[in-house]
Chain A
Amino acid sequence: MLSNDTIKARLIDKFGEAVTNFAEPYGMLTFEAPKDMNLKVIQFLFDDPELRFRFLTDLQAVHYPHEKERELAVVYHLHNLTDNIRIRFKVFTGITNPDVFTATKIFEAANWMERETYDFYGVNFVGHPNLKRILNVDEMDYFPMRKEYPLEEQTRVDKDDEMFGR
């Protein structure tokens, strides 16, 4: 049976110092790698006969505006269905140059998830076959999920109450 410690040991064996920040919040192994190595790590996790992380459960981004050069985190949730174990893998990128390699060559499922992430946060997935907005209108000129943009529809005039309005 595969355990978090085994996975961690295998990863350190293979990538050495490159994989960092191991943690286990609520029992799920979480680690980080430099952004130009994301595909190597995912491919290794996929191919390795012991690890077999062959199911991409989820992919999304998080915006940390106060961390310089590490503003955007792309988070992968991978699942080994044979041993039933999940891991979380993060890569961080600066917001001025948000280029991350696409995982679509390994997982077809990543296609729309990456488009969604691009749509919300503007992460530029290098090599993606069709990287364009998916949920928002094509004319939108900003990335709405970034922390600096407001949630509310700006055209409303009836919600200007001092106590309960905006």
Chain B
Amino acid sequence: MPRPVRYNLSGENNMKLVKEGPEGLEGEGYFATSLDKVVGLARKNSIWPLPFATSCCGIEFMATMGAHYDLARFGSERVGFSPRQCDLLMVMGTIAKKMGPVVKQVYLQMAEPRWVLAMGACACSGGIFDSYSVLQGIDQIIPVDVYIPGCPPRPEAVIDGIMKIQDLVGNESLRRRNGERYKELMASYGIQ
């Protein structure tokens, strides 16, 4: 649970005790909310991204991770390269048809719950490479949660995309991944 911080510099009385937190019942010394929201809060501020960087967008991602833009502010400084430990697959750059099965394999190796972020025009739709060797968007092989357009997107756009993912993660119901709709979605990609 986040530490209550009092920012009451201007003398307001109805300020929330918790700076950023879920709706809930609070009083002197306690705070009650639903499990969903607590789990969401924990998850969204500790996303472990798996950077699947293939080309130009990877260089912009390096800039985003670097000191200037500092993705670590969003609880995502731990970039993991093992799919089994990561929650967020960030696909950055062109995915050629030769690479397609590798992306899918990496996605399959990730544990639920998992999210996918497609960064850049190539990952979203094939971009300017409407050619025989390029996969026309990674959503043909794996489901995507957030698309970041741009060729390549600026680091600010990447940060915005990460914040969108945080919204999704924070508001996701705990039951979603067991639901029929989700199973249908997975089945449409041929994933069990």
Contact = CB atoms under 8 A, between A and B. Distances in A.
Contacts of A3: none
The interface residues of chain B, by DSSP majority, are classed as loop
B97 interface: yes
Interface in B86-129: 97-98, 126
Interface of B: 97-98, 126, 130-134, 136
A153 B98 contact: no
Q: Please provide the 7 A-B residue pairs with the shortest distance between their CB atoms, ordered closest to farther.
A: A137-B98, A152-B130, A153-B136, A144-B132, A156-B136, A151-B131, A137-B97
Nearest to A150: B132
26 contacts: A135-B133, A136-B98, A136-B133, A137-B97, A137-B98, A144-B132, A144-B133, A149-B132, A151-B130, A151-B131, A151-B132, A152-B130, A152-B131, A152-B132, A153-B126, A153-B130, A153-B131, A153-B132, A153-B134, A153-B136, A154-B132, A155-B136, A156-B126, A156-B130, A156-B136, A159-B130
A154 B131 CA distance: 9
A136 B134 CA distance: 10
Nearest to B131: A151
Contacts of A154: 132
A154 to B, nearest CB: 8
Contacts, number: 27
B63 to A, nearest CB: 28
Contacts of B132: 144, 149-154
Interface residues of A, number: 13
A154 B136 CA distance: 10
Nearest to B126: A153
A136 B131 CA distance: 12
Contacts of A159: 130
A151 B131 CA distance: 5
A135 to B, nearest CB: 8
Nearest to B134: A153
Given A154-B132, A156-B130, 9 more contacts: A135-B133, A144-B132, A149-B132, A152-B132, A153-B130, A153-B131, A153-B136, A156-B136, A159-B130
Contacts of A150: 132
B32 to A, nearest CB: 49
A151 B99 CA distance: 19
Interface in A138-160: 144, 149-156, 159
Contacts of A136: 98, 133
Nearest to B129: A153
A71 to B, nearest CB: 20
Counting chain B CB atoms within 10 Å of each CB, which of A137, A153, A159 scores highest? Answer: A153
Contacts of A155: 136
A152 B131 CA distance: 4
Interface in A14-36: none
Nearest to A155: B136
A116 to B, nearest CB: 13
